[in-house]
Copies of this chain bind each other. A is one copy, B any other.
Amino acid sequence: MPTLVQSLRQTSRELQALRAAEGLLGWDQETHMPPKGGVTRAESQAALSTVLHQRLTSDKLWALIGETGSQSDLSDREKALVRELRRDVEKARKIPEALASDLARTGSLSQQAWAKARERNAPSEFLPWLEKMVQLKRREAECLGYVESPYDALLDQFEPGSKASTIKPVLEKLRDGLTPLARRIVDASAGSATTSRSQQGGSIPIDVQRRFNERLLHDMGFDLEAGRLDSSAHPFTQGLSPGDVRLTTRYREEDWLTAIFSTLHEGGHGLYEQGLPDEDWGTPLAEAVSLSVHESQSRLWENRVGRSRAYWERYLPIAKEYFGAALDGVTVEDVLAQVNLVKPSLIRVEADEVTYNLHIVLRFQLEEALFSGALEVAGIPDAWNSGMEKLLGIRPTSAAEGFLQDVHWSCGLYGYFPTYTMGNLYAAQVCAAMEREMGSLDVKIRAGEFSVMREWLRNKIHRFGREFSAADLMHRATGEDLNPEYFLNYLEKKYL
């Protein structure tokens, strides 16, 4: 006879097994699905999402959670298991089945429409889908409930407990610090306009690039027997289980550095997913605690590691072994000049570390306005362009470089963007804590000793799953609450 906790774990695990199937449908849609498979794929997504919703909202599970939670002899970890499952089920029980299924189906179709519209730079093909998605998400927010703003209900899905009114001042303070900083950096480097090149003319075959990118993943400790690397229009990570974590990147034959930063970024996500405790798979104890913590992992590897001088002192010679003549004469200085170039630009995922967060400020402002009712969907393209001009001083000349650039809104990820900036802040704070304990990170990076870094992250962050809240977990790992100073100090020290 299984105990209540065992029954709860088993039920949760069966749900997760179905979610993994759902995850595979999503991953495949972006990586391998033939174009004409889209319509029936949306039906599969909707059908599976309905099944999951029915299971998650069943009275039987709700009763089991209640019964298990009322036991007096639960360990701390078991209490966390009950608490987090209750949170998930409570949320799900607020969403009618038809809405859950509609969100899945429309999200899948809308994402496909976005991909085509972006490719053809045809905003009018996508706006009707955006309208549908925003309406569905507004309804979802009403169902979920909120105290201050409907937007809070959506933020809470990605960063439990977060609210627009607490994020806003953080972002504004950051904006006010970053805007002059970016100007100073641009001014300081104005004289040294570089003509350096990181790749000689011609192209590097994607297959060769893929092998080098896999090498980098392997070196940072990502287990390629428990994951894989593919390519997609918009890089992402899909963790089906700690033994099956799928990353994607995006290659450019004429610029080998493009793929690398996507790979390191997703590799950071991937290490988190592979570092979740295997024995708890299927329960919240083996799920990432929040997106900002997830993003802190990806940013750490992409920026602190991947854009450091130490990293390129180590890897440029190795890159030359893979790419041969294409890198003839390329120096570490050339690479650093390219990957640390601070310059206002139009595309978020290609932005430098300094101006990146201004892209997030824009998205936060638009999302907030969208869900408070101050902005209509039809007004997004213009609001985007004006916002870019105001924040970064440049204006997109096409929708593909404007509001069509990101996948998020097409598939219903509203309230997701702010976690990117939170992740940047946490990453800097985590690196400072690591350095206090293990000394200079650059020394480790130059020596390729990534395993000590990975083990530190696994021990302090990954292995806990959702046992603690994101804020508590980061406090335990770094010894203090979220403190944006680490990030600003890091930028000043690196760039000035």
Q: Which residues of A contact B (CB under 8 A)?
A: 13-14, 17-18, 20-22, 24-25, 28, 32-41, 43-44, 46-48, 50-51, 207, 223-228, 240-241, 243-244, 281-282
Contacts and interface: CB of A to CB of B under 8 A. Distances in A.
A223 B18 contact: no
Contact of A243 (B17, B28, B36): B36
A226 B37 CA distance: 6
B225 A40 contact: no
Contact of A25 (B21, B36, B43): B21
Given A14-B47, A47-B14, A41 B207 contact: no
Given A24-B25, A40-B241, A226 B34 contact: yes
A37 B281 CA distance: 12
B43 A17 contact: yes
A14 B34 CA distance: 21
Contacts of A50: 14
Contact of A37 (B14, B25, B243): B243
A223 B35 CA distance: 11
Given A17-B48, A39-B241, 19 more contacts: A14-B50, A17-B46, A18-B44, A21-B24, A21-B47, A24-B25, A24-B28, A32-B228, A33-B244, A35-B225, A36-B243, A37-B240, A38-B243, A40-B240, A40-B241, A40-B244, A40-B281, A41-B240, A41-B244
Given A13-B43, A18-B47, A47-B14, A37 B244 contact: yes
Contact of A21 (B21, B34, B241, B244): B21
Contacts of A39: 241, 243
Contacts of A225: 34-36
Given A24-B28, A25-B24, A28-B28, A244 B36 contact: yes
Number of identical protomers: 2
A34 B243 contact: yes
Nearest to A101: B14
B244 A18 contact: no
A282 to B, nearest CB: 8
A425 to B, nearest CB: 33
A44 B240 CA distance: 10
27 contacts: A13-B43, A14-B50, A17-B44, A17-B46, A17-B48, A20-B40, A21-B21, A21-B22, A21-B25, A21-B48, A24-B24, A24-B25, A33-B244, A35-B226, A36-B225, A36-B226, A36-B243, A36-B244, A37-B226, A37-B240, A37-B241, A38-B243, A39-B241, A39-B243, A40-B241, A40-B243, A41-B240
A409 B47 CA distance: 31
A47 to B, nearest CB: 4
A322 to B, nearest CB: 18
A394 to B, nearest CB: 37
A230 to B, nearest CB: 8
Contacts of A28: 24, 28
A48 B18 contact: yes
